[in-house]
Amino acid sequence: MPETLVVKRVVIADDHPLFQTAVESLLHSSSKFAFQTVDKPTSGKACLSAVRRHNPDLLILDLNMPEMDGFEVLEALDGHWSQMKTLVLTAYDDCKLTKKAFKLGADGYVLKRSQPEEILQAVEAVLQGQTIFGEGVALAEASPARQARSRRSGTTPSRWQDPFLRKQMLTKRELEVLHLISQAMSTKEIAQKLFISDQTVSVHRKNIMRKLGVSNTAGLLKAAYENCLI
């Protein structure tokens, strides 16, 4: 008589339904667990609601989603679902994103371009209490020379071509300053609002403009709106 597999309840959060269906199908091929998909949310807010409603054993989480991104979901969960395992399944291999995900409580980080068997093995390993770094996941930033070679060869697209990466490159304080700039507040008003000095606000403004590749306030606001930063 075949062994009865332990049933694991899973939420698959991704804004591409076709990819969700593919992951769900992959889970059914597991020989270690029986998976029951309890929800397939396509936005961060829906994901948060699904976790709170179903209290699953496993959350498979994309990072780039509408309404709330994966990091915001992890931050909102804030360890309240400590028994739930979380596997980030994403297209982004940036070491800063990897470190941020684990800092916020992820148990594993795997790239979508991985082979199906690797993704399944990562799911099973995470459920068994292991911490998983998928193949190709960067744990340290590439050297400037290697980054330059990648740009010349065209193998790595500019991080600024992706609105999600633009947002991740700004600190929480820089996003706050940017939001207040968009409300037409002066440097002095922003300083008073955030309880920081005028000089600190000016430094944040310069850093934001440098990161977004703009040279004036008009360009700053245009880049902010085009990339959904405010």
pLDDT, one tens digit per residue, over 6-42 is 999 999 999 999 999 999 999 999 999 999 999 999 9
Longest dimension (CA), the chain: 75
76 and 165 assigned to the same domain? no
Residue 145 lies in a domain: no
Q: Where are the alpha helices (DSSP H) in 170-216?
A: 172-182, 187-194, 198-212
pTM, full prediction: 0.73
112 and 183 assigned to the same domain? no
161 and 120 assigned to the same domain? no
Q: Determine which of 1-10, 53-62, 92-101, 116-125 has the lowest per-residue pLDDT on average.
A: 1-10
Confidence of residue 228 (pLDDT cuts 50, 70, 90): low
Quote the domain boundaries for residue 105. Answer: 6-133
Residue type, 47: C
16 and 97 assigned to the same domain? yes
Residue 19 lies in a domain: yes
User: Measured between alpha carbons, how far apart are the two ends of the chain, in Å?
Assistant: 58
Residue 112 lies in a domain: yes
Q: Give the model's pLDDT for residue 17.
A: 95
Domain count across the chain? 2
Residue 146 lies in a domain: no
- DSSP assignment of 79-112 equals TTTTTSEEEEEES---HHHHHHHHHTT-SEEEET
177 and 94 assigned to the same domain? no
